[in-house]
Structures are given as C-alpha cells and as structure tokens.
Structure 1
C-alpha cells in the first residue's frame, strides 16, 4: 500500500487515533476493491465479517422493503465505515450497499485483524474505539431523525 493509502486511512473515521505505523500495520493485512457504478459491495442478509473503509466515491446504504421496493437510508463518502457491526458480531448485514458512482474501498477481514491483538494491541483498541464512536454517532443521528419524524406526525394531527 502507498503513502496515499496511509494518509487516506489516517483521515478516515477508523484511523483518526492511529499512528502512521499502526495505519501501515492495518493496511498490510487489508485489501482494496474498486467498485463500478451500481456494483453491490454486500447484500442485506450476507455475512462476511469484513470492515470497509470508503476511500473514494459514494456508496448508498439501502434498506429493501419488498420485492421491488427499497429506500436509500444514507450515502457513504470517503472516510466512512461500512459493515462495522457485522465485523464485530458476525451477524448478517442489515442493509445492502451499492455504489452510486465509481468507488474504492479498503477491506479488513476480522480474522486477519484479530491476528494483530498480540503484535499491535494499541491499534486494535483504537480501531474498536473508532467503531464504537461511529456506531454511537449513527445511533444519535437515527434518534434525531426519529424525533423529527415524531414531531412532524404529531403536528399533523393537532
């Protein structure tokens, strides 16, 4: 991986607390994947135990509502994390991720990451902390959306 990759990772949600050498250690066990417009990164219900860091492009987070009905819940951009909960708990993905335009992601496999526990424990701690921080932000955002929708619906019937 290049020095650009180290910089990209260090500027992402995942790498915010990592040193340059810790970013390099993560990149050494990571892969990159290029996505074309409309490519599926993963589908709802898939299990892959991988963490994704968006390097470039835009990736839609899609909730399937039926046979031909779906809604875009969010759009991920450079620096965003994806698949973090499945990475931690091994449960299937709850949404589908589809590239809105040509995109690139860094992929970290959980079993490779667990191998860093003995050699890079501080990096492992910081990655897990970053995942919790990202999940906490997502929860706050969803709570805010819920409150706004609740207020809107309540005001409609007053």
Structure 2
C-alpha cells in the first residue's frame, strides 16, 4: 500500500469533522502510521494498549473471541476510529482489530494528544467532542440492535 496524506485522512475522518485545515495538520502531526497486510492483528482482545486507531485505507474488522475462534462483529469504514474507551480511560481492549485487506491505520497515543493542550486547545476540545459523538453513535447502534433482537425473540414489533 502506498503512503498516505495524514492531514487529508484526518480531515476526512470522524475526528476531523469540526477541524479547520491547520487544526487537522496539527493533529496529524501527532499521529503515527501502521501498515498492515491482510490477516495482521493490530491489537488483541484484552490488551492494555491505550492507542486510538483511525482507519485511513483498507479494511479492518472488530473481532471477539468466541470459544477458540475469532468472530468479526463489525467492519470499520475508512475514517472511523476504534479504541476510544481504552484511549480515554485506559481500560483493556474488549475486542481485537484485524486487517481484512492491506490497510493503513493512523495511531494516536494519549501523551501525544495531551501535548496539544497548551499549543492547540481547540483541537483537543473538538477531538473530544468527536470522540463523544463516536461513543454515542456506538451506544445508539447497540441499543437499536438489542431492541431488534428482543423483538425477534419475543416475536413483536415486526414480521418475523
């Protein structure tokens, strides 16, 4: 896979929704890059790595271990982030991230992000708002899926 323009990738991601060009460049300057081949494990379930991951190119699956097998439960779209909870509070990973194709992932470490507080406080504020939106949309999606499953099991709320 080829090099990527980190600033453009940040600007077109969920993190860059509110960022101006100079702000996206400041954030991109703090981010690392990981290139993955198909099948590579980016982070394992249960790891304590606090890195925030943003898919810049390719396909990454969010996976859970079910018995002895790893099962994909969600596929990240380009521009989406994974690991928001671990990034913010240091909790262990509740799922693994595995490349389904050659992929490029931008990474952000908490210390690098926090270093922006003095020089770019509005970037920190806007990114924290973006992380809240990501977490909120995940919660809403999970609530919807839970309701759909309940309706299916109880044979209510639709044609099952």
TM tier relative to shorter chain: over 0.9
Q: CA deviation at 1:3?
A: 8.6
Number of positions where the alignment pairs a residue of Structure 1 with one of Structure 2: 155
TM-score w.r.t. the length of structure 2 is: 0.92
Moved segments of 4+, more than 2 Å: 2-5
What do the CA deviations read for 1:104-141 (whole angstroms, capped 9, x no partner)?
A: 01111101111111111100011111011001001000
- Residue-by-residue CA offset, 1:70-117 (whole Å, 9 max, x unaligned): 321100021010111100001111000100111001111101111111
Question: What TM-score does the superposition give when structure 1 sets the normalisation length?
Answer: 0.93
Local SS of the residue matching 1:118: helix
Look up the match of 1:128.
Answer: 128
CA RMSD, 1 decimal: 1.7
Deviation at 1:4, TM superposition (A): 3.1
1:28-47 alignment to 2 at 5 Å?
28-47=29-48
Given the alignment of the two structures, is residue 65 of structure 1 paired with residue 66 of structure 2, yes or no? yes
- Residue of structure 1 in register with 2:138 after alignment: 138
Task: Kindly report which structure 2 residues correspond to 1:66-85, keeping only aligned pairs within 5 A, or say none.
Answer: 66=67, 68-85=68-85
Contiguous gaps of at least 5 residues in structure 2:
none
Unmatched 5+ stretches in structure 1 = none
Q: Tell me if 1:11 matches 2:12.
A: yes
Q: What is the deviation of 1:65? A: 1.9
Match of 2:51 in 1: 50
2:140 alignment partner, SS class: helix
Q: CA deviation at 1:48?
A: 1.5
Residues in 2 aligned to 1:136 and 1:87: alpha-carbon distance in whole angstroms: 16
2:108 is paired with a residue whose SS is strand
